[in-house]
């Protein structure tokens, strides 16, 4: 708290917390002071259905005592643990310390399992059943949010099972993608080539992928393509793994392969981000994760088109 607020806020929180506990104690005591264990019970004065009255019975003693005990427990807790502003508590406990302790214990227990495969060739690790099982669990924990539980991807998130790779599918490149992440950037061309130009280039891109399209529009789009697009996608549309520029001839589409989606990509551009996992997971875990992704090649999974 002291990192982003003044000391006055710490004092304010401390005072409010302590006063609240004291107020709760006296509220429970005040409301129970008039209780009687014998004699007629007062009613609230509310009557329904002619003779159904609401009684004003006091709380049972054991229930009232539970209130007192919870207030006392709260006070003891705030003395032992942080909760009063910047006061750290007598035990010195912090979430960060507990996290680091638990992570250190987990690392000591499971690190040998990861290190067992760390120095082995990725292609060989990808064929190992035990490594696949460990890598699959890592994938389920860290990768399914974007790539799906079956690694089939979704619009904007690559299918990892179809053999199509923006940055190359060699084992070293797959591992590098996981370790360091990727930052894709498709410039927006709408303002440069205009609405008609977008349609024409989209027609030419569809033709590159083997689709039937308007030949006249595709011919004009080819000229625009040769002027603006070859630097990344190449003169034949095969793409460039060094830049993450996709192959436009294989009819596999990251952001949707309909005419409208292709035109949208050209007009507005695309910016995809693959977060780096090296610092989070470490070299050994990334090695297993990369091996698992490589083991998915050849699995049946349709690429995302729409």
Residue 304 lies in a domain: no
Question: Do 295 and 206 meet the contact criterion of CB atoms below 8 Å apart?
Answer: no
φ and ψ at residue 125, rounded to 5 degrees: -60, -35
Q: What local confidence, expressed as pLDDT, does residue 303 receive?
A: 41
- The whole-model pTM stands at 0.70
Distance CA 103, CA 219 (A): 60
Distance CA 144, CA 46 (A): 59
Q: Are residues 109 and 157 in the same domain?
A: yes
Q: What local confidence, expressed as pLDDT, does residue 43 receive?
A: 77
Distance CA 18, CA 32 (A): 22
Model confidence at 297: pLDDT above 50: yes
Tell me how far CA of residue 203 lies from CA of 112, 196, 199, 261, in angstroms: 54, 11, 6, 12
Structural domain boundaries enclosing 145 = 98-184+276-295
Q: Are residues 256 and 200 in the same domain?
A: yes
Model confidence at 296: pLDDT above 70: yes
158 token code pair: 């690559």
Distance CA 1, CA 154 (A): 40
Q: What local confidence, expressed as pLDDT, does residue 156 receive?
A: 93
Residue 2 lies in a domain: no
Domain end among 52, 80, 108: 80
Residue 15 lies in a domain: yes
Distance CA 24, CA 126 (A): 62
Q: Are residues 158 and 285 in the same domain?
A: yes
Q: Are residues 22 and 135 in the same domain?
A: no
Q: Are residues 74 and 102 in the same domain?
A: no
| CATH number of the domain residue 137 falls in | 1.10.760.10
Q: What local confidence, expressed as pLDDT, does residue 260 receive?
A: 96
Q: Are residues 130 and 238 in the same domain?
A: no
pLDDT tens, residue by residue, 35-65: 555 666 777 778 888 888 887 777 778 888 9
Q: Are residues 117 and 40 in the same domain?
A: no
Residue 266 lies in a domain: yes
Q: How confident is the model at residue 33 (pLDDT cuts 50, 70, 90)?
A: low
Q: How confident is the model at residue 252 (pLDDT cuts 50, 70, 90)?
A: very high
Distance CA 112, CA 201 (A): 53
Q: In which region does residue 251 sit, left (phi positive, over 0), alpha (psi from -120 to 50) or beta (all else)?
A: left
Q: What local confidence, expressed as pLDDT, does residue 35 receive?
A: 57
Q: Are residues 125 and 240 in the same domain?
A: no
Residue 27 lies in a domain: yes
Q: Are residues 21 and 163 in the same domain?
A: no
194 token code pair: 């205009």
Q: Are residues 286 and 161 in the same domain?
A: yes
Q: Are residues 177 and 195 in the same domain?
A: no
Question: Do 143 and 281 meet the contact criterion of CB atoms below 8 Å apart?
Answer: no
pLDDT tens, residue by residue, 64-92: 899 999 999 999 999 999 989 888 999 98
Residue 303 lies in a domain: no
Residue 93 lies in a domain: no
Split into its structural domains, the chain has a count of 3
Model confidence at 269: pLDDT above 50: yes
The DSSP code sequence of the chain is: -TTTS-HHHHHHHHHHHHHHHHHHHHHHHHHHTT--SSSPPPEEEEEETTTEEEE-PPPPHHHHHHHHHHHHHHHHHHHHSS-STT---TT---HHHHHHHHHHHHHHHHHHHHHHHHTS-HHHHTT-HHHHHHHHHHHHHHTHHHH-TTS--BTTB--SSSS--SS--SHHHHHHHHHH-EE--B---HHHHHHHHHHHHHHHHHHHTT----HHHHHHHHHHHHHHTHHHH-TTS--BTTTTBPPSSS---SS--SHHHHHHHHHH-B--EE---HHHH-HHHHHHHHHHHHHTTT---PPP--
pLDDT tens, residue by residue, 162-197: 889 999 999 999 999 999 999 999 999 999 999 999
- The mean of the pLDDT values for the chain is 89
Residue 86 lies in a domain: no
Question: Do 187 and 269 meet the contact criterion of CB atoms below 8 Å apart?
Answer: yes
Q: Are residues 245 and 131 in the same domain?
A: no
150 token code pair: 């079956």
């Amino acid at each position: 708290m002291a990192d982003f607020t003044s000391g006055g806020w710490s004092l304010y929180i401390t005072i409010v917390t302590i006063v609240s506990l004291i107020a709760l104690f006296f509220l429970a005591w005040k409301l129970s002071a008039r209780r009687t264990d014998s004699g007629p019970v007062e009613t609230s004065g509310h009557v329904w259905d002619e003779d159904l009255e609401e009684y004003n019975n006091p709380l049972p003693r054991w229930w009232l005592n539970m209130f007192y005990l919870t207030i006392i427990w709260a006070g003891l807790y705030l003395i032992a643990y942080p909760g009063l502003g910047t006061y750290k508590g007598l035990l010195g406990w912090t979430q960060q310390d507990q996290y680091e302790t638990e992570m250190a214990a987990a690392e000591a227990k499971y690190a040998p399992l990861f290190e067992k495969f760390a120095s082995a060739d990725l292609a060989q690790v990808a064929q190992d059943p035990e490594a696949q099982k460990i890598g699959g669990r890592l994938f389920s924990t860290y990768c399914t949010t974007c790539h799906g539980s079956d690694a089939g991807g979704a619009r904007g998130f690559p299918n990892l099972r179809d053999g199509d790779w923006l940055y190359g599918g060699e084992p070293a490149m797959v591992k590098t993608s996981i370790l360091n992440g990727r930052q894709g950037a498709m410039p927006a061309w709408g303002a440069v080539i205009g609405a008609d130009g977008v349609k024409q280039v989209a027609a030419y891109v569809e033709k590159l992928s083997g689709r039937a399209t308007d030949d006249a529009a595709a011919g004009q789009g080819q000229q625009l393509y040769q002027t603006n697009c070859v630097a990344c996608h190449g003169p034949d549309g095969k793409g460039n793994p060094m830049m993450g520029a996709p192959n436009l001839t294989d009819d596999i589409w990251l952001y949707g392969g309909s005419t409208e989606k292709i035109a949208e990509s050209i007009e507005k551009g695309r910016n995809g981000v693959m977060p780096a996992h090296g610092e989070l997971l470490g070299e050994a875990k990334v090695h297993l994760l990369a091996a698992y992704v490589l083991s998915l090649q050849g699995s049946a999974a349709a690429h995302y088109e729409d």
